[in-house]
Amino acid sequence: MRLRERLDGKRMLLTGVTGFVGEALLHRILRDLPGTHVVALVRPKGSLTGRARMEQLLNKPIFEQARSRYAGDTAALLDARVSVLEGDLSDVPELPGDLDVVIHCAGDVSFDPPIHQAFQTNVLGTEMLLRRILDSGSRAHYLHVSTAYVSGRRRGAIPEGPVDHTADWRTEARWGQAMRDRIEETSRAPGVLSKLRREAEREHRRAGPITSAQDTERRRKEWVDTKLVEAGGERARSLGWTDVYTFTKALGERVVEEIGAPLPVTILRPSIIESALETPHPGWIEGFKMAEPLILAYGRGELPEFPASPDSQCDIVPVDHVVNATLAAAAERPEPGSPAYFQVTSGLRNPLTFAMVFELVHEYFDAHPFDMSERGAVRLPTWRFPGGEQVERTLALGERAHKAADFLVTHAPRGERVRRFARDLDQQRRRLDFLRRYHDLYRPYLETELVFTDDRTVALYNGLDLEDQRDFSFDITSFDWHHYFVEVHCPAVTEAMRKYDVIRRRRGRSTPAVAPQLPAGEDIVAAFDMDGTLLSSNVVETYLWLRMPELDRQGKARELGALVRRLPGFLNAERKDRGRFLRSVYRRYAGADLAELEHIVDEVLSQHVLERVSAAALRRVRAHQAAGHRTVLITGAIRPLTRPLEPLFDEIVAADLAVDDRGRCTGFLSGPPLVGEARAAWLKRYATQRDLDLSKSYAYADSHSDLPMLRVVGRPVAVSPDVHLWREARKGRWPVEEWKTSSSVSRLALPGATSGSSS
């Protein structure tokens, strides 16, 4: 009998239909098994019900042929062929009692999930599903999709049978679930929190204590996730598995063997599942699997070496072979208590070595390189397979070099060149992180020398009708790897990346960016920083503007000498606490006549200040005014220096120098300088008082210390930012703009002298 006849009229429960294998399985059933009805266990997601998610799935191109039988009506296809059962492996609902087959292909397929998630999905979820089947009164044929790598770190031939181990799944599951609470508790211990807080403060101290505290909590959560992953990995390796994925999948099999004993049970173990050979179409793949990131990285010249032996096997199977074997196994109902095991693998009958993979991938990219535009085709690395230890040493050396270079760039004076260097460093960091992640994940697999036997799988295939052997083939010897890699897999894997490169090149040829169209509205505020944003200046420089005109030549020399001696201290204070830095500079105004400072600004500095304002900044301020927005200048500069800018702003917030009863500056401020989080707080209060909508408002700043102010508005813009702010802007996808002062204005030029004296 044909498969369609053997499965005709069967009600088949599928889990994991929104995953890679589950989607391919559903496609094959709906297209080629017209008498089989699917019951799909689908988890609601956000506002989408399980049925809505199924409709989204069935609207995909691969289901077009199935939809065409119902005049293209997705709802009609769903009503006729699929029953949606809302639920999740953590909370499996009651199941109908008329199921004939249950195919469980859902599971956590990440190699390094947090330990509690891996146990919940791969072990406890399997237990709950089996108990629901038994509770329903159904004696359905239960088919469990596992992985060939449940064998762990063994070597040699791996039979199609139970894995030999003594790990107790109940004990391990309890431990795995309890680890989350233990690690959460540890993460709040003083020693851990102190370390994380210091790291956060080193990066965000200038922005303020709350910003540092928020980053400390972010780091704590990341620490918890990292420790949960480490806990699972260490426990798995201590028992002989490569990682927590294969560990929990092996324990899941033991659950099936024990809890599923009253049922007909089949365990199917594919190896590494990759793109389709033929069905739904050659090269069909969903998401990145095990090999794709490595193939893409190699093609872009970013995978210089690989920690494998050239003669080690790379066991890969196309997804349609796995689907076809699954359906063939589903039609073979074993006796209860005698599970059937099938390994869908390639290593025994169509071996593929890592040397062959390298040669085939290299051949493909040599003929079809990634085009890097002005740099031409990518130069492809040549793998020499030096061994895992050498690759580890090279990777560690690169990580140390990057750390040193990153320290230098984050402490260098800001500028376009520094940001370009930071961009290159960040790209290098991503490459190093990629290499580290995949080196650590894959190395245990590369060090195992496994050969999976597949005699029972071959017998299953040979028992098929001859036409089914053609239409539902899973004969791993039916194709050659050259055809699969060079003509099917690599073209499919690189298609999306090539489209992205075309878009990127078009962007590179586009016209220069113009100022955005600003929405009109009186409930919008635009807040601007001054030094480094509106104009190219800093606090020390503007201090010299005010002091130099009133000093003679000797006084100027003494003042410059004193500032040079104090400069290291100023820089150190500025990196740690901008408020303290401002106070230390403003102490030097002690004894100055405030009225005379204002006179110097009005008579001498006004034109100089306006010349230092960027033309792009002026255009932007005026655009906000034209749109009806309230414009606000928030600066740590002293108020006299803002006098030339008063016509541009509805409100100016600046540092006010305290004076004595004679009008002379005391060297102190009349209130704390508005820096860091204080700016965000001021802006919130200002918006509340005037009924302004911060979610539609703008803020422009150049310094990492202004991060809180930028975060409080819906439309932040980083202007000529320092490296720390530039990185935050990249993470938040904020616009980054370069506002330059006219090249005719020299930074070394000081305004002319005045006859007045302020001290």
For 387-403, the pLDDT digits (tens) are 777 777 877 888 788 78
pLDDT above 50: residue 755:
no
- What string of DSSP letters covers 617-661? HHHHHHHHHHTT-EEEEEEEEEGGGGGGGGGG-SEEEEEPEEE-T
Output the pLDDT for position 437. 74
- Distance separating alpha carbons of residues 218 and 212, to the nearest angstrom: 10
- Which residues are within 8 A (CB) of 674 and not within 5 positions of it... i.e. 6 or more apart? 634, 635, 636, 653, 654, 655, 682
Indicate the helix (H) or strand (E) that contains 128: helix 125-135
Confidence of residue 756 (pLDDT cuts 50, 70, 90): very low
- Which region among 169-178, 297-306, 381-390 has the lowest average model confidence (pLDDT)? 381-390
Answer yes or no: is 302 within a domain: yes
Q: Same domain, yes or no, for 11 and 111?
A: yes
Q: Same domain, yes or no, for 565 and 604?
A: yes
Q: Same domain, yes or no, for 440 and 530?
A: no
pLDDT above 50: residue 245:
yes
Answer yes or no: is 752 within a domain: no
- Distance separating alpha carbons of residues 205 and 193, to the nearest angstrom: 16
Mean of pLDDT values over 625-640: 92
CA-based nearest residue to 272, from 340, 346, 175, 186: 346
Answer yes or no: is 517 within a domain: no
Q: Same domain, yes or no, for 216 and 336?
A: no
Confidence of residue 302 (pLDDT cuts 50, 70, 90): confident
Range of the domain at 493: 283-313+354-448+481-510
pLDDT above 50: residue 239:
yes
- Which region among 288-297, 631-640, 672-681 has the lowest average model confidence (pLDDT)? 288-297
Residue 336 in tokens: 């209860």
Tell me which DSSP letter residue 121 carries.
I
Q: Same domain, yes or no, for 265 and 234?
A: no
Confidence of residue 749 (pLDDT cuts 50, 70, 90): low
pLDDT above 80: residue 99:
yes
Residue 191's identity, in one-letter code, is G
Yes or no: say if 133 and 101 are a contact pair by the CB < 8 Å rule. no
Confidence of residue 514 (pLDDT cuts 50, 70, 90): low
Task: Write down the mean pLDDT value for the chain.
Answer: 87
Q: Same domain, yes or no, for 719 and 641?
A: yes
Q: Same domain, yes or no, for 91 and 156?
A: yes
Mean of pLDDT values over 410-420: 71
- Distance separating alpha carbons of residues 342 and 145, to the nearest angstrom: 10
Q: Same domain, yes or no, for 725 and 617?
A: yes
CA-based nearest residue to 586, from 670, 644, 653: 670
Mean of pLDDT values over 72-80: 95
Q: What is the pLDDT of residues 443-466, one digit of tens each?
A: 777 766 789 999 999 999 999 999
Q: What is the pLDDT of residues 120-151, one digit of tens each?
A: 999 999 999 999 999 999 999 999 999 999 99
pLDDT above 80: residue 742:
no
Answer yes or no: is 472 within a domain: yes
Confidence of residue 572 (pLDDT cuts 50, 70, 90): low
Output the pLDDT for position 452. 94
Answer yes or no: is 749 within a domain: no
pLDDT above 60: residue 758:
no
Phi, psi of 111 (to 5 degrees): -75, -25
Answer yes or no: is 520 within a domain: no
Confidence of residue 510 (pLDDT cuts 50, 70, 90): very low
Q: Same domain, yes or no, for 432 and 459?
A: no
- Distance separating alpha carbons of residues 327 and 101, to the nearest angstrom: 10
Output the pLDDT for position 568. 65
Q: How many domains does the chain have?
A: 4
Classify residue 539 as exposed, middle or buried by CB count within 10 Å of its CB (0-12, 13-18, 19+).
buried
Mean of pLDDT values over 692-705: 93
Answer yes or no: is 132 within a domain: yes
Other C-beta atoms closer than 10 Å to the C-beta of 91 total 10
Mean of pLDDT values over 526-552: 77
Confidence of residue 759 (pLDDT cuts 50, 70, 90): very low
- Which region among 42-46, 257-261, 590-594 has the lowest average model confidence (pLDDT)? 590-594
Yes or no: say if 259 and 102 are a contact pair by the CB < 8 Å rule. no
Higher local confidence (pLDDT), 737 or 399: 737
Q: Catalogue the E-assigned strands of 49-161.
A: 82-86, 101-104, 141-145, 156-158
Mean of pLDDT values over 42-55: 94
Mean of pLDDT values over 85-97: 93
Confidence of residue 375 (pLDDT cuts 50, 70, 90): low
pLDDT above 90: residue 11:
yes
Mean of pLDDT values over 35-62: 95
CATH for 20: 3.40.50.720
- Any bridge partners for residue 269, and if so which? 343
pLDDT above 60: residue 750:
no
Yes or no: say if 632 and 650 are a contact pair by the CB < 8 Å rule. yes
Q: What is the pLDDT of residues 308-332, one digit of tens each?
A: 788 888 899 999 999 999 999 999 9
- Which region among 39-53, 133-147, 558-572 has the lowest average model confidence (pLDDT)? 558-572
pLDDT above 70: residue 614:
yes
Confidence of residue 55 (pLDDT cuts 50, 70, 90): very high
3-state secondary structure of 265: strand
- Which region among 153-157, 265-269, 565-569 has the lowest average model confidence (pLDDT)? 565-569
- Which region among 7-16, 38-47, 508-517, 735-744 has the lowest average model confidence (pLDDT)? 508-517
CATH for 647: 3.40.50.1000
- What string of DSSP letters covers 195-260? HHHHHHHHHHTTT-HHHHHHHHHHHHHHHHHHHHHHHHHHHHHHTT-SSHHHHHHHHHHHHHHHHT
Q: What percent of the chain has pLDDT over 70?
A: 89
Q: What is the pLDDT of residues 649-667, one digit of tens each?
A: 999 999 899 999 999 999 8
pLDDT above 90: residue 407:
no
Output the pLDDT for position 180. 93
pLDDT above 50: residue 753:
no
Classify residue 83 as exposed, middle or buried by CB count within 10 Å of its CB (0-12, 13-18, 19+).
middle
Q: Same domain, yes or no, for 683 and 572?
A: yes
Answer yes or no: is 409 within a domain: yes
Residue 551 in tokens: 């000093």
Q: Same domain, yes or no, for 443 and 539?
A: no
Mean of pLDDT values over 612-639: 91
- Distance separating alpha carbons of residues 347 and 434, to the nearest angstrom: 27
Q: Same domain, yes or no, for 557 and 460?
A: no
